[in-house]
Chain A
Amino acid sequence: MPERWQPRRARPWLIASLSAGAILIASCAQKPARPDLRAEGPVLTREDALWLNRVTFGLDEATVAQYRLLGREGFLNAQLEDRGTLPDAIAAQIAALPVSHVEANTVLYDVEQRRKDINALPNPPDKEQARKALDEEGNRLDYQAERREMLRAIYSSDQLREQMEWFWLNHFNVYVYKANLRWLVGDYAEEAIRPHALGRFRDLVLATLKHPAMLEYLDNAQNAVGHINENYARELMELHTLGVDGGYTQQDVQNLARILTGVGVRNKPEEPKLRRELQGYYVHSGAFEFNPARHDFGTKVLLGKEIGGRGFGEVEQAVDLLVRQPACARFISRKLAAYFVSDNPPPALIARMAQTFQATDGQISAVLRTLFNSPEFEASLGSKFKDPEHYVVSALRLAYDTHPITNTKPAIGWVNGLGERSFNHQTPDGYALTETGWASSGQMSKRFEIARQIGSGNAGLFNPEDGGTPAPGGFPQLSNRLYFDAIEPLLSPTTVSTLAQTASPQEWNTFLLASPEFNYR
């Protein structure tokens, strides 16, 4: 558990006040218990600390050590190419979660069957109660999926992959309260997004296209010949691949919707009964199915290209066509740069990233390498406002990196309070990537309140998740080794002198987390 502040020990905020040149008001008898932290001086230069802070979700001791060992290039290579590790305690927590053992197809069969059973109940109140109980079960799985993402974001050494996981989950946004998505979001993150987070963009598009979570969320599960639903077709172009200015027309939307007819969800173990001549066109894997009886086999024209009716091959051809458009390379490059570089990314950088995108047929790690090695990236360090996820994760990495939390609810609650909870964005555009989405007056005051909650107690982060005896409380020690090694060099004189005026270590923590420097990356 976190250290408790005790009056006889050094008061961390007094250590900070020294650096501000303020008068030391403690008596000489109250010597700082860990003066060595100051004496050693920072181990990272301001530039290195800024760089590392942006490439990760935020600094922690392990990444600082790894960076000192590998250097900038080696660290970046490891982040882009290698598979990292999780602390044992975290890996064990994740392995113990039921959501880690759920498969999309079996869980869907089960849920659908139980919905049928519930509908057959004679008594309306019983029905209502059974429905609620079923949804509660789903909510628990959703929460576990969020917990898994949060634990990895804080503790995985794969900090870039974890950010990309978040980025793509946001890009290919789904909303947990639609249809059966409570049961599916865990599988969606794990199977559709995670394996491709640094891989090929085409694979990512196809994996999301074939996942029941996306098909239910954007209604393509209902899209069939004669019953066209163009919701997914539109967003696939507007939000997933080309961007709204990507050069497609309403006609393209309608034709892509026709191409996508029959792409749906298999929520029962039995295959659909098909006429013999259609049987060869049936495709399925897991909970995904392409049902040729629901498909429009007519010829379509998409972006000026004719696509002959031949079943699921049309869909793959359409995806290839979309992801190879120059508009797609630009759109994805721009969005990556908006996340990692600047709210208004420089056009020259976008152009070079788009070039890499096209030259590598959409290899995401290569596009990111262009980004991270650019002078534009270097020039932008320290000036990107942290979205809520970055904010909360970075605070927890500073506070509890070497002391794994056991209860993720407070952390998810904080991100939720700031309006960016995973799987909770209702519309398919995903959360904002720019400062204006998160830094209004109302959001700033909310953020300060959360800074106070993080800084002045452990908020139950060490309680057992499933009830039981709460662990004793205590606030985190933010004036820790990491702070002196790498965070203090980032602070402005104003922040340092404000910290010197705080009245307690909890307040010192709160103000550090509320400071401008901690709110930018």
Chain B
Amino acid sequence: MKRREFLCAAGAATAGAFAGRLWAADPAKGRFLLVFLRGGYDCANLLIPYSSSDYYATRPKIAIARPDPQSATGALALDSDWAIAPAVRDPMGAMYKRGELAFIPFAGTEDLTRSHFETQDSIELGQPLGATRNYTSGFLARLAAQLTGPAPISFTDALPLSFKGTVDIPNISLRSVGKPVFDDRQSALLASMYSGNHLEAAVTDGLELRKEVSQTMQEEMTAANRGAITTKGFALEADGIGRLMRDKYGLGFVDIGGWDTHVNQGSAQGNLANNLQNLAGGLSTLADTLGSEWRNTVVVVVSEFGRTFRENGNGGTDHGHGSVYWVLGGSIHGGQIAGRQQRVAVNTLFQNRDYPVLNEYRSVLGGMFRSMWSLSPDALQQVFPGTTPLDLQLV
């Protein structure tokens, strides 16, 4: 199928008519995807502080060897202090060079519980710390309410806290999507049972989105199957995300689990390396699928916290604090290590244990959102109350 035909077919599935609200179907104003690594990934083994001798001293089992300019497979130096892990050098090294990828070390939330669940919640809610939490108001839902262009969608089985709000945000996991099950008459009858029920919007959105996504995916699969490369894991999902975001949705969320590496996390190879490779492969697929729209897209990869700077007794790391965020996009000012930084050494660790947080995530994201959509100060206050945006000039 030619691209134009495909757009017609996708258009025929009618966009944006979701229950609570009407979103314009044109995402060209700027797309944003948040990728949440649940479990607290060990950022120091992704973005390696290779000029720090303490890094090597405190991670005897798991440290990744210093970059060797002669090697095509080891860590890849980005500058005189930082290198990226061998597991991601292949797609990510080139992306960084092209200026489509940046890293923000010492990023995160000031939440200090070091609890996965507490910190994830606190990031997804995006509310000031210390105040009573409102669990029905996530920051992406508040952002969606400020934007008229990009239609929101969550590529997850359940609706994440980030997207909880007063209107229903559609969600669907792309890990497996089959053919539609109910015809129009049945869908209408099912929806009618929930008329007036507080789940009405979820029910009608669910039936509608299921139909639409199956159609889109089915058509694209058929079109693309000929020379199809076999993708798996996150790459497969990312391909679907790319298609849907290219043609219709502008504000997305997806999460990936499996980052809580307390034991045997490995070094250049091993559990963490496999996860990072899977992630990097997916992000690169996403860029490919978005095609020319990649330049209107910004992807940010976050995690609830970093891990302990020192390895623990089991070849793993425990819950820490500051993390390293990734920023990707076809027209970002990448190719740099962005944000406030400090020297990496044992005596600069936060609580003698972790990376500090120097780039608070609400300020960082707030700054990006402001540039992407020219949000007014008032609108930004709605998204991240009490935050002063930090402009890292990445987007």
Q: Interface 1/0s, chain B 134-175, versus A by CB < 8 A? A: 011000000000000000001011110000100011111100
Cβ B190 vs Cβ A439 within 8 A: no
20 contacts between A and B (CB under 8 A): A238-B115, A238-B118, A244-B118, A427-B38, A436-B135, A437-B158, A442-B154, A442-B156, A442-B157, A442-B173, A442-B210, A443-B206, A444-B206, A444-B207, A445-B209, A448-B206, A449-B181, A452-B182, A494-B196, A495-B193
Determine the distance from Cα of A439 to Cα of B189 in the docked complex, in whole angstroms.
19
* Nearest CB in chain A to that of B313: its residue: A227
Q: Is the CB of B158 within 8 A of A443?
A: yes
Binds A, one of B197-205, B216-224, B239-247, B382-390: B197-205
Q: Which residue of B lies closest to A507 (CB)?
A: B186
How far is it, in angstroms, between the C-alpha of A427 and the C-alpha of B192 when the chains are bound? 37
Query: Could you say which residues of chain A place their CB within 8 Å of the CB of B158?
Result: 419, 432, 437-438, 440, 442-443
Seed contacts A442-B206, A452-B182, A494-B196; 4 additional CB < 8 Å A-B pairs: A222-B313, A244-B118, A440-B159, A494-B195
B379 to chain A, nearest CB (A): 26
B172, B189, B193, B314 — most chain A CB neighbours (10 Å): B193
Say whether A442 contacts B115, CB under 8 Å.
Answer: no
B113 within 8 A of A: yes
Question: A231-B262, A436-B164, A498-B192 in contact; A244/B115 too (CB < 8 A)?
Answer: yes
Q: Which of A427-456 contact B (CB under 8 A)?
A: 427, 429, 432, 436-446, 448-449, 452
A244 touching B117 in the complex, CB below 8 Å, given contacts A436-B164, A440-B158: yes
Report the bound CA distance from A230 to B263 in whole Å: 11
Report the separation of the CA atoms of residues A239 and B117 in the bound assembly, to the nearest whole angstrom: 10
Q: Are B193 and A515 in contact, with the CB atoms below 8 A?
A: yes
Q: Which of B201, B202, B206 gathers the greatest number of chain A CB atoms within 10 Å?
A: B206
State which size class the interface on B falls in: 35 or more
List B contacts of A444 (CB < 8 A).
199, 202-203, 206-207
**Interface bits A495-509 vs B (CB < 8 Å: 1, else 0):** 100100110000100
Q: Which of A223, A238, A440 is in CB contact (< 8 Å) with B202?
A: A440
B245-299: which have CB < 8 Å to A? 257-258, 260, 262-263
B318 located at the interface, meaning its Cβ lies under 8 Å from any Cβ of chain A in the complex: yes
| A440–B316 CA distance with the chains assembled, in angstroms | 36
> B257 contacts A427, CB within 8 Å?
yes
Closest to B209 in A: A441
Tell me the smallest distance from the CB of A511 to a CB of chain B, in Å.
Answer: 7
CB <8 Å contact, A516 and B115 = no
Which residue among B158, B164, B192 has the maximum number of chain A CB atoms within 10 Å of its CB? B158
Given A442-B209, A445-B210, A436 and B159 contact (CB-CB distance below 8 Å) = yes
Q: Does A123 sit at the interface, judged by CB under 8 A? A: no
> Across the interface, do A426 and B257 meet the contact criterion of CB distance under 8 Å?
yes
CA–CA, A439 and B157, complex, Å: 10
Considering the complex, give the chain A residue whose CB is closest to the CB of B210.
A445
User: Do A440 and B114 contact each other (CB < 8 Å), given the known contacts A229-B313, A516-B199?
Assistant: no
Of A250, A429, A441, A511, most buried by chain B (CB within 10 Å of CB) is A441
A511 near B209 (CB under 8 angstroms)? Answer: no
Please give, as numbers and ranges, the residues of chain A lying within 8 Å of B362 by CB-CB distance. none
Given A439-B199, A441-B205, A443-B158, A516 and B314 contact (CB-CB distance below 8 Å)? no
- How far is the CB of A258 from the nearest CB of chain B, in Å? 12
A15 within 8 A of B: no
The verdict on A228 contacting chain B, using a C-beta distance below 8 Å, is yes
Kindly state whether residue B334 has any CB partner on chain A within 8 Å.
no
Report the nearest A residue to B353, measured CB to CB.
A250
The reply to whether A516 and B194 contact each other, CB–CB distance below 8 Å, is: yes
A residues within 8 A CB of B197?
516
B209 touches A234 (CB 8 A): no
For B370, list chain A residues within 8 Å (CB): none
Q: Which residue of A lies closest to B178 (CB)?
A: A449
Label chain B's interface by main secondary structure: loop
A439 engages B202 (CB within 8 Å): yes
A: residues with CB less than 8 A from B are: 219, 222-224, 226-231, 234, 238-239, 244, 250, 253, 419, 426-427, 429, 432, 436-446, 448-449, 452, 494-495, 498, 501-502, 507, 511, 514-516
B209 pairs with A222, CB closer than 8 A: no
Residues of B within 8 A of A495 (CB): 193
Within the complex, the shortest CB–CB distance from B125 to chain A, in Å, comes to 13
Interface of B toward A, CB cutoff 8 Å? 38-39, 112-118, 135-136, 154, 156-159, 164, 168-173, 181-182, 186, 189-190, 192-197, 199, 201-203, 205-207, 209-210, 257-258, 260, 262-263, 312-314, 316, 318-319, 351
| Set B115, B171, B182, B193: member contacting A498, Cβ < 8 A | B193
| Distance in Å: Cβ of B129 to nearest Cβ of chain A | 13
Least Cβ distance of B36 to chain A in Å?
13
Cβ A448 vs Cβ B181 within 8 A: yes
Q: Which chain A residues border B115 with CB–CB below 8 Å?
A: 234, 238, 244
B38 to chain A, nearest CB (A): 7
Distance (whole angstroms) from the CB of B197 to the closest CB of chain A:
5
Candidates B117, B118, B314; contact of A219 at CB < 8 Å: B314
Judge whether B171 and A440 touch: CB under 8 Å: yes
Shortest C-beta distance, A160 to chain B (Å), equals: 27
Q: Is A514's CB under 8 angstroms from B193's CB?
A: yes
Complex CA gap A230/B319 in Å reads 9
Output the nearest chain A residue to B116 by Cβ-Cβ distance.
Answer: A427
CB-CB under 8 A for A429 and B116, given A440-B202, A444-B203, A448-B207: yes
Whether A516 contacts B193 by the Cβ 8 Å rule is yes
Contacts A231-B262, A452-B181 given; indicate if A443 touches B157 (C-beta within 8 A).
yes
- Contact residues in A for B189 (Cβ distance below 8 Å): 498, 501-502, 511
Q: Looking across the interface, which residue of chain B has its beta carbon closest to that of A518?
A: B193
Contact A448 B182 (CB under 8 A): yes
A419: chain B residues at CB < 8 Å are 157-158
Q: Tell me which of A429, A442, A449 contacts B117 (CB under 8 A).
A: A429
- A230 to B320: give the CA distance in the assembly, Å: 12
Which of B195, B196, B207 makes the CB contact (< 8 A) with A445?
A: B207
Partner of A441, one of B136, B206, B262, B312: B206
Residue pair B113, A244 in contact (C-beta under 8 Å): yes
Closest to A510 in B: B186
A441-B203, A444-B202 known; A231-B318 Cβ under 8 A: yes
Residue ID in chain A nearest B192 by CB atoms: A498
Nearest neighbor of B319 in chain A, beta-carbon distance:
A234
Q: Which residues of A contact B209 (CB under 8 A)?
A: 441-442, 445
Given A227-B314, A244-B118, A439-B202: A427 touches B210 (CB 8 Å cut-off): no
Q: Which residue of A lies closest to B211 (CB)?
A: A445
Closest CB pairs A-B (n = 9): A227-B313, A445-B206, A440-B159, A441-B206, A441-B205, A442-B171, A444-B206, A222-B314, A445-B210
Question: Hey, which chain B residues are within 8 Å of A429, CB to CB?
Answer: 116-117
Q: Which residues of chain A have C-beta atoms less than 8 A from B210's C-beta?
A: 442, 445
- CB contacts (< 8 Å) of B117 on chain A: these are 238-239, 244, 427, 429
Residue in chain A with minimal CB distance to B213: A442
| Cβ A229 vs Cβ B203 within 8 A | no
Question: Which residue in chain B gives the minimum CB-CB distance to A437?
Answer: B158
For the complex formed, measure the closest distance between the CB of A291 and the CB atoms of chain B, giving whole angstroms.
14
CA distance A486 to B314 in the complex (A): 56
Q: How far is the CA of A501 from the CA of B157 in the complex (A)?
A: 31
User: Residues of B contacting A427 with CB < 8 Å?
Assistant: 38-39, 116-117, 257, 260
Indicate if the CB atoms of A219 and B114 lie closer than 8 Å: no
Tell me, rounded to whole Å, the shortest Cβ–Cβ distance linking A119 to chain B.
Answer: 15
Q: Contact between A442 and B159 (Cβ–Cβ < 8 Å)? A: yes
Query: Once the chains are docked, how many angstroms separate the CA of A397 from the CA of B190?
Result: 23
Quick one: closest A residue to B176, CB to CB? A417
Residues of A within 8 A of B136 (CB): 436
CB closest chain-B residue, reference A435: B199
Instruction: Report the Cα distance A432→B194, complex, angstroms.
Output: 23
Chain B residue at smallest Cβ distance from A232: B262
- Please name all residues of chain B whose beta carbon is closer than 8 Å to the beta carbon of A230 when the two chains form the complex: 318-319
Q: Which residues of B contact A231 (CB under 8 A)?
A: 262, 318
Cβ contacts under 8 Å, B154 to chain A: 440, 442
B202 touches A448 (CB 8 A): no
A228 touches B312 (CB 8 A): yes
